[in-house]
Amino acid sequence: MSLTSIPGIEQQHDLLARAGRVLAGGGLGLFNLPDEVNLVIAAGKGSHVTDVAGRDYIDYHLGSGPDLLGHAHPAITEAVTAQLSKGTTYYFLNEHAIRLAERLVEAIPCGEQVHFTGSGTEATFFALRVARAHTGRSKILKFEGAWHGMHDYALWGTVPTEPSDYPRARPDSAGIPAIIGSEVLVAPFNDAERAVELIERHANELAAVIVEPLQRVLKPRPGFLEAVREVTRRHGVVLIFDEVVTGFRIAWGGAQECYGVVPDLATYGKAMAGGFPMACIVGRAAIMSALDGRRHPRHELAWASGTLNGNPVSAVAGLAALNVLAQPGTYEYLHRIGSRLRAGIVESGRRHGLPTLALGEDAVFGIRFIENNDVKSWMDLQAHDRELGLRWGIECLKRGLLVNPNEKFYISLAHTDADVDRTLEICDAAFAAVTS
Ligand SMILES: Cc1ncc(COP(=O)(O)O)c(C=O)c1O
């Protein structure tokens, strides 16, 4: 069937043209697909979505991670529907937010107390503020290539194409005050010696070290997180794990459980609210007390208020999602489906003569074309063939996989073995197309 004969294609073109006029950048954020595969989603169910043109895709983007149960999971739909008729937001305490906080404290190794926020960006921004309030110091250290959201402290050394002049880095975005650069130190991921040296050198002025324990698709080397944990503890620097991606995904207890290192604070988002807008900071009560208006006068308090914090609709969605994730077998299933897919894609890519790697964890990984088998840092990753990754991603999209080229594959509980079989056929055809 030619593209123009697909019912709905005209409607999709029209919507994309209108988006181009009224949405800044034509999209909803930084991310835009190339025109030839751009689409408007009409609906999602389980592991699949359909676009307005009526095409079906197996979804490996999952809303950029939140839909860990798959789209429109009945447990979440029922819980949210029941809550909607009771009101959507109160600002005052609601029982669901309290129960969700209890569940988070139970599940997360560092969790003694919780503070809800609206997004992962707010969670990392406020976690850094809490660390400053707690320590009375102002600088923070992050790792090159780490993504902590969109605030002015996060956007340094996130996607550099050349090594930073460690610990100084360039801002990623226009509009960030240069002065903030003197407050943000950047170190290469997985280089324990360099991180320890920088942390020791700046310990007196360092409030926090923030790290994505699985940095995008890079696993921590044995000993790296442990070394960062040890030096931060020794110098009273708050260690923050950004678990917005890894939380409830790579294990029930997140990266802390998976890698066996417990930070002082952690930020959670995405999967924890079952596809609804909610994120949080969790951590040690002694540090979270910087947020406690019962203990501090207002001017000594770390302010982190938000109109929709602890919103009951998001809270019931989060509780429903966690109830499903807590069932026996969840993580075994995610690992089994993810590892089959990773291995199959790598085998297929290599059969087509491409240096294919599936980096990361089974539940979230990235396909990269790179000769170096020992990729450990953002700079190592720069050697990957971005152009090939884009072309292969476009060929996958054309054949019915919803993927974000050169980014991640997210696995959900809704993905089946039949999905994996079909996906591997599509990936293979996409490899054939890019090598022909
Ligand atoms: C590790 C990590 N931290 C923080 C964020 C920011 O979260 P949000 O997009 O909810 O602001 C993201 C977003 O992708 C992320 O991947």
pLDDT value of residue 295: 92
- Dihedral over alpha carbons 342, 343, 346, 350 (to 10 degrees): -170
Q: What is the pLDDT of residues 167-191, one digit of tens each?
A: 999 999 999 999 999 999 999 999 9
Distance 154 CA to ligand 1 centre (A): 10
Select from 64, 189, 245 the residue to mutate for testing ligand 1; criterion: most ligand atoms less than 8 Å from CB.
245
In this model, does residue 291 exceed pLDDT 80? yes
Distance 247 CA to ligand 1 centre (A): 12
Distance 155 CA to ligand 1 centre (A): 12
> How far is the CA of 206 from the CAs of 170, 214, 230, 283, in angstroms?
19, 22, 15, 18
Domains of the chain: 33-62+328-435 (3.90.1150.10), 74-325 (3.40.640.10)
Average pLDDT over residues 343-356: 98
Using pLDDT thresholds of 50, 70 and 90, give the confidence band for residue 66.
very high
- Dihedral over alpha carbons 28, 32, 37, 40 (to 10 degrees): 0
Select from 31, 121, 249 the residue to mutate for testing ligand 1; criterion: most ligand atoms less than 8 Å from CB.
121
Nearest CA to ligand 1 atom 3: 148
Q: What is the pLDDT of residues 370-424, one digit of tens each?
A: 998 899 999 999 999 999 999 999 999 999 999 999 999 999 999 999 999 999 9
Cα gap 18→6, rounded to integer Å: 20
Using pLDDT thresholds of 50, 70 and 90, give the confidence band for residue 4.
low
Average pLDDT over residues 250-255: 98
Q: Which atom of ligand 1 is nearest to the CA of 65?
A: 14
pLDDT value of residue 124: 98
Q: Which atom of ligand 1 is nearest to the CA of 119?
A: 10
Using pLDDT thresholds of 50, 70 and 90, give the confidence band for residue 133.
very high
Using pLDDT thresholds of 50, 70 and 90, give the confidence band for residue 164.
confident
Q: What does the buried/exposed string (b/e) look like for 132-170 if buried means 16 or more CB atoms within 10 Å of the residue's CB?
A: bbbbebebbbbbbbbbbbbbbbbbbbbebeeebebbebb
Share of the chain above pLDDT 90, in %: 96
> How far is the CA of 4 from the CAs of 11, 14, 276, in angstroms?
11, 13, 35
pLDDT value of residue 195: 98
- Dihedral over alpha carbons 8, 11, 13, 15 (to 10 degrees): -140
Number of C-beta neighbours around residue 181 at 10 A: 17
The per-residue pLDDT of the chain, averaged, comes to 96
Provide the 8-state DSSP code for 265.
E
The residue among 185, 200, 82, 96 whose CA lies nearest residue 143 is: 185
Distance 147 CA to ligand 1 centre (A): 7
In this model, does residue 5 exceed pLDDT 70? no
Cα gap 72→65, rounded to integer Å: 14
Helix (H) or strand (E) holding 317: helix 312-325
- Asked whether the beta carbons of 308 and 118 are under 8 A apart, the reply is yes
Confidence (pTM):
0.97
Q: Per 3-state DSSP, what percentage of the chain is helix, strand, and coil (rounded to 5)?
A: 45, 15, 40
**3-state DSSP assignment of residue 171:** strand
Distance 139 CA to ligand 1 centre (A): 21
Distance 378 CA to ligand 1 centre (A): 17
Cα gap 342→352, rounded to integer Å: 16
Average pLDDT over residues 213-222: 98
In this model, does residue 24 exceed pLDDT 80? yes
Contacts with 198 (C-beta within 8 Å, 6 or more apart), sequence order: 141, 166, 167, 185, 187
Enumerate the H helices of 170-210 as residue ranges. 192-202
Main-chain phi, psi angles of 98, to 5 degrees: -65, -45
Tell me the CA end-to-end span of the chain in Å, nearest whole number. 22
Enumerate the H helices of 139-220 as residue ranges. 192-202
pLDDT value of residue 30: 85
> How far is the CA of 11 from the CAs of 56, 189, 204, in angstroms?
16, 45, 59
Select from 30, 147, 159, 216 the residue to mutate for testing ligand 1; criterion: most ligand atoms less than 8 Å from CB.
147
Q: Which atom of ligand 1 is nearest to the CA of 64?
A: 14
Average pLDDT over residues 318-339: 98
pLDDT value of residue 32: 83
Nearest CA to ligand 1 atom 14: 149
Contacts with 235 (C-beta within 8 Å, 6 or more apart), sequence order: 199, 200, 203, 206
Q: Which residues line ligand 1 (CB under 6 A)?
A: 64, 119-121, 124, 147-149, 212, 242, 244-245, 269, 279
Using pLDDT thresholds of 50, 70 and 90, give the confidence band for residue 31.
confident
Distance 333 CA to ligand 1 centre (A): 25
Structure token pair of residue 26: 């034509």
